[in-house]
């Protein structure tokens, strides 16, 4: 996951998971077209966040990469939703901030935790 491509895929996967769970919880129809209509603003926000933070330099870093991707995903995603005539209720913004923060920052924290070198116990 230290690769830039893997990190980008993980971040886009988090955005996709947010959309899939949200649409399922709200019993939204529309099939693949409905999923795409909801996903593309967040995908664009994720890509913008990745580019602005130059994620390829430190793809698993919490700062600036993780926070920049997270806030870019939510901020640009919501702006694009407004421009596309989709809803952005305040509660929805809070849910997006919470979910995407947990997942887009969470996978990085988990990766950093698991990737730390482990100390060996001294031989007896």
The phi and psi torsions of 18 (rounded to 5 degrees) equal -55, -45
pTM of the model: 0.89
User: Are 96 and 77 contacting, i.e. CB atoms less than 8 angstroms apart?
Assistant: yes
Is there a domain that residue 121 lies in?
no
Is there a domain that residue 22 lies in?
yes
pLDDT averaged over 10-residue windows placed end to end, the chain, 124 residues: 87 97 82 90 98 97 97 98 95 97 98 79 63
Residue 116 is classified by DSSP as S
Is there a domain that residue 124 lies in?
no
Is there a domain that residue 120 lies in?
no
Is there a domain that residue 88 lies in?
yes
User: Are 45 and 55 contacting, i.e. CB atoms less than 8 angstroms apart?
Assistant: no
- Find how far residue 2's CA is from the centre of its chain: 16
Count of structural domains, the chain: 1
**Residue 69, domain extent:** 4-115
Q: Give pLDDT, residue 56.
A: 97
Is there a domain that residue 54 lies in?
yes
């Amino acid at each position: 996951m230290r690769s830039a491509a893997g990190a980008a895929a993980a971040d886009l996967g988090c955005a996709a998971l947010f959309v899939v769970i949200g649409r399922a919880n709200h019993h939204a129809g529309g099939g693949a077209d409905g999923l795409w209509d909801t996903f593309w603003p967040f995908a664009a926000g994720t890509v913008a966040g990745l580019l602005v933070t130059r994620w390829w330099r430190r793809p698993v870093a919490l700062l600036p990469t993780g926070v920049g991707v997270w806030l870019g995903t939510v901020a640009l995603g919501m702006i694009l939703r407004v421009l596309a005539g989709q809803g952005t209720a305040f509660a929805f913004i809070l849910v997006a901030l919470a979910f995407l923060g947990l997942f887009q920052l969470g996978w990085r924290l988990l990766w950093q935790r698991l990737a730390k070198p482990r100390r060996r116990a001294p031989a007896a």
